[in-house]
């Protein structure tokens, strides 16, 4: 099964762990947990961070919402848990108008 589908199933079945960082950030940014979950399930992977430790993570973008969101998640295949790392509204300072393509090949 494709990675994105695995993550979607975990999110749909609430097998997620909300990291402290994301909880602080969504509170500060007035983003709800339901908006984050919708962005994950309905969005698409736009970047992969395979070198991340202890488990690889990736960036999901959902730009067709009233509030476009980017969400960084990590998928632990062994424990079958999706870790939600952070969520934010993409900024055209860092992304092109499509809110998917990074400006000038900037890295995170």
43-63 pLDDT per residue, tens: 999 999 989 999 999 999 999
Q: What is the pLDDT of residue 64?
A: 87
Q: Which ranges of 29-84 does DSSP label H, i.e. alpha helix?
A: 33-42
Q: What is the pLDDT of residue 104?
A: 80
Q: How far apart are CA 108 and CA 93, in angstroms?
A: 13
- Residue 41 is encoded by which pair of tokens? 């399930």
Please state the domain extents for the chain.
Answer: 3-101
pTM of the model: 0.91
Using CB atoms within 10 A of its CB, is residue 89 exposed (0-12), middle (13-18) or buried (19+)?
Answer: middle
Which positions of the chain have pLDDT values less than 70?
A: 105-108
Q: What is the pLDDT of residue 105?
A: 62
**Could you confirm whether domain 3-101 is CATH 3.30.2310.40?**
yes
Q: What is the pLDDT of residue 107?
A: 59
């Amino acid at each position: 099964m494709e990675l994105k589908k695995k993550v979607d199933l975990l999110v749909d079945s609430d097998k997620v762990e909300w990291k402290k960082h994301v909880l602080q950030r969504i509170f500060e940014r007035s983003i709800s947990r339901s908006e984050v979950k919708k962005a994950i399930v309905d969005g698409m992977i736009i970047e992969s961070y395979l070198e991340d430790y202890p488990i690889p993570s990736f960036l999901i973008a959902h730009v067709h919402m009233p509030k476009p969101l980017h969400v960084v998640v990590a998928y632990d295949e062994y424990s079958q848990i999706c870790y939600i790392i952070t969520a934010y509204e993409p900024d055209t300072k860092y992304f092109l108008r499509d809110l998917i393509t990074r400006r000038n090949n900037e890295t995170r």
